[in-house]
Amino acid sequence: MTGILGYARVSTGDQDVGGQTLRLTQAGAIKVFTDVRSGRSMDRPGLAALLDYARTGDTLAVVRLDRLGRSLAELLAMITMLKNRGIALLSLEEKIDTSSAAGELVFHVFGAIAHFERRLIAERTKDGIAAARVRGKLPGRQPLDADQISAALKLVAAGLSPTNAAHQVGLGRSTVYREIKRTGLQRPL
């Protein structure tokens, strides 16, 4: 027997999944799985449990697509995985249902737009690097100034803290610590 399985997610414990759960239940969800996790985290035990529970012919329902993935690429990967398993996706807010041909078309259009956007960004980056080279600028992180590093290491050797030494010579604190480690400098106690 197939059914609608709901997935509700909130980012923090201060938020409540109750509103999402109610809407999913009203949409026909026979069971709702929940997570209290940031969208950045792909460690979502509730979603994993839903995917373990789901069978071919089931529908995964969410209130909004952003509850399922934080980027279009994540969503498209999820849709592909669901499709391969014979599971449809229903988004209540966006009114997308991949069990229909129109819903699947919408996702393919989203995918094409995401691919186009990635290509545009790559082309703009490539053009920007080429323009910078023409102006005589080297893209990327600039090489460290050997005199600054030497001065910072001398200050540390004289007893100044790496943080203060970095501040004095205009370097980042992590740069000074990295150079201390690289050179094996013993700091005075």
- Positions marked catalytic: 11
Q: Cα dist. 178→59, 152, 185 in Å?
A: 52, 12, 11
Helix H or strand E encompassing 156: helix 146-157
Residues 6+ apart with CB under 8 A from 34: 7, 8, 9, 17, 20, 21, 46
Q: Which two tokens stand for residue 57?
A: 């012919």
Sign of CA dihedral 158, 159, 165, 168: negative
Instruction: Give whole-number Cα distances, 48 to 54, 86, 113, in Å.
Output: 10, 16, 28
